[in-house]
A = this chain, B = another copy of it.
């Protein structure tokens, strides 16, 4: 089949199921892959904070550093909380798993709903920010940013449908190139700013604005600071990814994962603090066409090699960050579908052993977000991070509960969780305090985010998560009901519903197609009802003439003739079928045979009435009607026929009306 050949070229040859093995990552590559999301936040996190502060005047930008330090402290707390998760869920402890294991269904579904929205936003935000990095360097393509973002999503989708292996070293490079580049910029920036090593000092930009504190009440001031803090919390997204993928590390998995987590936190926060410090020191002002990181790099190093290096690897690390969405969303979708909370096709693995359904769903959702927000990541940010904070809170609360259970274990006893066996632990009190602190802090931040960003878009998430949870439950209800209906539990073999020994065959004319159907009907039952709906006396006469030409085939067949004074032959036909079904054979299945003429092209199929298709469509809604389709394929002509207008009916092999109204 050409179709399948094309598919193989585009997506590669299918992988056999047995090929599903997982390569393990060392810490260097593990960091590169899992850290791309939080580290890439540096492309926009500082700018997000400053964009809020600038509202009350450029003088307010001096508040950036205290806010950044608070966020860095928050990251520290979260990192240490998650180390507990890693150590207790070495098989992988995503929020959904931890919540399901310790808190029950509803909390796990809240976490799952929050994460699904956040994974979608990871793709939209990261891709938009990546395009922005390129647009900062090449402003002339600004007008095409939505198209470029959608194109990037399309490429990511295609790569993931092909089943890209994240473990490749190719993927490690952009992360380290970005870290190295930005680190270098910070170093040069510090050296030049303070004229170290005898370098001529770089003067901060002169800004004229002042902080408009006079016009602000104290409450208003706090409000702005909270909003700026909330905006900066986007730096925390993706931190939890390692806890979900512990098994991707080489043994000892948990230890390697935990160490990677700490390294990631340190690097991300170093860059965050460094960028923020220099940006405020140099008095940079957020601008629409030129990202803050781009401004910073240009101010410090000029528009040379380092500038383009940073811009290009900002773009690439952001694409990698978006790619983590492509790993996380389908995986969570699979877990949810396995537990019957999402459509079952999310568990289907495609030719390349990836979850096609989840990948395509994510691509559609994130593309819609990009279109709605015109690829402006700052417009999306109020929606972002909220879900992450909610899932942090739930996950850490679950850990607190788990550690409480662990605390009750006597030495020697074990606790079997979903994923592993736990023993009595030393220092559980301290660990529990870490997790409790994590849960409390993220809960507070969650509330701050919802309140301060509510009007700007957070209301969408507040509305969306309950809707998603309602959807989870109704899907679950549906599958439970289907299972109930299909279950063979307590089913006696004799209970299967009876099939009536009757076949109804709608027949519009006597031709090879309908005769074949008639033959088949006679094979499977003694009681064949050929139903002819007559709308025209002369056609009926011709029908009967032809019917009598085949005495062998038509013998023992009940020919039911129905005269009908309207043109929609389906109505009397379905009435008759209903009558037989409900009056003659109540509580039994009956069979309807539909003869169907199939032409060799879609175009020519448009030349035929779709009566068979319509009949099938309407019968399907009835209970217990079995439909047999007898196809009759029209072969292409052997020779070119002559054209002459046909004037009489019986001269020609089979005139127009030979194609029965009810059968083709």
Contacts and interface: CB of A to CB of B under 8 A. Distances in A.
A338 interface: yes
B493 A553 contact: yes
Given A566-B14, A568-B14, A475 B553 contact: no
A653 B566 contact: no
Given A343-B606, A626-B628, A659-B344, A488 B511 contact: yes
B599 A658 contact: no
A497 interface: yes
A199 B585 CA distance: 90
Interface residues of A, number: 100
* Pairs of residues from A and B, 6 with the lowest C-beta to C-beta distance, nearest first: A487-B653, A16-B565, A486-B511, A483-B654, A487-B654, A481-B637
A158 interface: no
A344 B609 contact: yes
A16 B607 CA distance: 26
Contacts of A640: 477
Contact of A620 (B549, B598, B625, B635): B598
A455 interface: no
A516 interface: yes
Interface string A474-516: 0111111111111111010110110100000000001111011
A252 interface: no
A7 to B, nearest CB: 10
Contacts of A512: 485-488, 491, 496
Contact of A486 (B15, B481, B632): B632
A236 to B, nearest CB: 29
Contacts of A636: 481
14 contacts: A14-B566, A339-B645, A347-B656, A477-B641, A481-B641, A482-B659, A486-B634, A487-B512, A488-B510, A488-B511, A488-B549, A496-B515, A499-B520, A620-B631
A470 interface: no
Contacts of A489: 653-654
A568 B486 contact: no
Given A515-B496, A565-B17, A484 B654 contact: yes
A608 B477 CA distance: 14
A633 interface: yes
A485 B546 contact: no
B497 A604 contact: no
Given A343-B606, A567-B348, A633-B623, A499 B523 contact: yes
B644 A105 contact: yes
Interface string A364-382: 0000000000000000000
A388 to B, nearest CB: 24
Contact of A629 (B351, B473, B623, B627): B627
Contact of A17 (B343, B493, B566): B566
A654 B486 contact: yes
Nearest to A100: B645
Query: Could you say which of A344, A482, A487 has the most chain B C-beta atoms within 10 Å of its C-beta?
Result: A482
A488 B654 CA distance: 8
